[in-house]
């Protein structure tokens, strides 16, 4: 088949053909977004570094980072369970 001829198609200009091979200015590819788990690991590392720089004690910093990690894990589990319960219309007490 011959290539598409934009002259014969009046709607050609209205369609988003940003990555078309004939486009002289293609849009750059979007960078991949990190997953929420990777974001949490980065947050823990930055939190550890910030608290360690302010306190100067690695043991206390590790304990605080552990406690923050446990609090975030508990919050994510509770919020996820409530979210699942609300979206499936099942009481949270019946979730396994």
**pLDDT one-digit tens code per residue, 14-27:** 555 555 666 666 66
Contact present, 87 and 81 (Cβ < 8 Å) = no
What pLDDT does residue 26 have? 62
- Give me the chain's average pLDDT, please: 81
> How far apart are the C-alpha atoms of 96 and 93, rounded to whole Å?
8
Q: With bands split at pLDDT 50, 70 and 90, how would you rate the model's confidence at 30?
A: confident
pLDDT of residue 89: 86
For 69, residues 6+ apart whose C-beta sits below 8 A from its C-beta are: 44
Q: What is the pTM for the complete model shown?
A: 0.61
User: What is the C-alpha to C-alpha distance for residues 91 and 86, in angstroms, rounded to an integer?
Assistant: 8
């Amino acid at each position: 088949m011959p290539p598409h001829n934009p002259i014969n198609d009046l709607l050609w200009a209205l369609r988003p053909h940003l990555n078309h091979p004939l486009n002289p200015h293609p849009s750059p590819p979007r960078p991949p977004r990190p997953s929420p788990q990777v974001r949490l690991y980065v947050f823990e590392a930055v939190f550890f570094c910030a608290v360690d720089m302010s306190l100067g004690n690695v043991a206390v910093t590790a304990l605080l980072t552990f406690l923050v990690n446990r609090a975030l894990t508990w919050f994510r589990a509770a919020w996820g369970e409530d979210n699942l319960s609300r979206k499936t219309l099942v009481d949270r007490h019946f979730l396994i």
